Amino acid sequence: MPTAYIVDAVRTAGGRRGGRLAGVHPVDLLASSLDAIVERSGIDPKAVDDVVTGCVTQAGEQAMQVGRMGVLASKKLPQSTPAVTIDRQCGSSQQAIQFAAQAVMSGTQDVVIASGVESMTRVPMGTNATFHMKEGLGHYKSPGLEEKYPGVQFSQFMGAEMIAKKHDFSKDMLDQFSLESHQKAIAATEVGAFDNEIVPIRIETPEGEEMHTIDEGIRFDATLEGIAGVKLLAPDGRVTAASASQICDGSSAVLVVSEEALKAHGLTPLARIHNLTVTAGDPVIMLEEPLFATDRALERAGMKIEDIDLYEVNEAFAPVPMAWLKHTGADPEKLNVHGGAIALGHPLGASGTKLMTTLVHALKRHGKKYGLQTMCEGGGVANVTIVESL
């Protein structure tokens, strides 16, 4: 079977809700990452066979097939470039990578951009459902679904609490993990670890025009006392906003190509895609599936967790990567080495390609070989992608 290669990967620095990226339309935010991946890689724009874009809240400014809108707003890609927008919840753009790789590995396409976008400021999470409910236009939970899951509210917040209690993670343990996410992100920022992956975005501020290049969610003054003082999301719970991923605006893109395209366009790959896995399980606890998806991915790849040099496990809520570490027996020192979504933000549909961007650049920076990325996703689904740095 043909091999799929990652040539380059880029992301915007995250913007906090109502923050520095709030003035940027999500279509233009996506176009910025698409333009950057074309320019940096040197690929002939006309050679791009497809653009696969992850986006979760496909409503309002992210409606009307936002991936195609991003291509049309691009300054680099011609209007003849196809695009499609997909929703696998938080794993949307990780699935975009896997669809891009599958297209290349099948021999049907040679050059595909996987991408993602989410402006959680301008298109608030869940509004693609709640607006319809408020207008009396129906609810996603059908009679058939209600019959199978009577009275069940599919909630990621409840899932996070269930994982914390199942694995006996105290609030103090979650708070400590959250502090370490900020500490790692601070250290990475201060040494320039993100410089090769961030796309500068021109923004307007009260002081004038600036370039947005630093993740806005990082709390450079974070302390354990401050994190511990944040109120619980549920009265009898363990999770707080400080131990959950930050609402975030951002976009990201990864260029996936065939070996033939490498030769034809004189491209140098960053990584080889080694394994693609997606599994599904319990939709109620929901966020635990990365544990079992990782088992499946390692089995299919003929690898052990010790063979993996770096892991990117999305910090949707602190209990998720903590449970993943406990289940897999993975080395905590290899996990989210430049910080995770608790500090850097989780721009939903953009997070999959965002995490892959950070992973492939971290492997290169630290001189490591194998990287594993996984995401918990709404509905109890999880993707795992294993890459080999070149």
> Of 55, 90, 212, 248, which residue is the catalytic one?
90
User: Residue 152 to residues 89, 149, 239, 256, 279: CA-CA distances in angstroms?
Assistant: 19, 6, 20, 39, 22
Sign of CA dihedral 132, 134, 137, 139: positive
Whether 235 and 353 have beta carbons less than 8 Å apart is answered as: no
- Residue 53: strand pairing partners: 85, 115
CA distances from 162 to 217, 281, 323 (A): 26, 15, 11
Q: Could you tell me which residues come within 8 angstroms of residue 361 by beta carbon, excluding any fewer than 6 positions away?
A: 9, 193, 194, 196, 197, 270
Task: Decide if 90 is catalytic.
Answer: yes
Q: What is the DSSP letter of 3?
A: P
Q: Which residues, at least 6 apart from 73, have a Cβ–Cβ distance to it below 8 Å? A: 27, 28, 30, 31
> Is 376 designated active site?
yes
| Token pair belonging to 321 | 């990567």
Residue 251 φ then ψ, to 5°: -145, 165
Task: For residue 261, give the H/E element and its range.
Answer: helix 259-265
Which tokens is 288 given? 């635990």
Residue 105: what residue type? M
Residues 6 or more apart from 164 whose CB is under 8 A from it?
174, 237, 238, 239, 319
**CA-based radius of gyration for the chain:** 20
- According to DSSP, residue 195 is labeled T
Catalytic site includes residue 25: no
Active-site entry in 212, 338, 346, 361 = 346
- Write down the number of H helices and E strands in the chain: 13, 13
Active-site residue set: 90, 346, 376
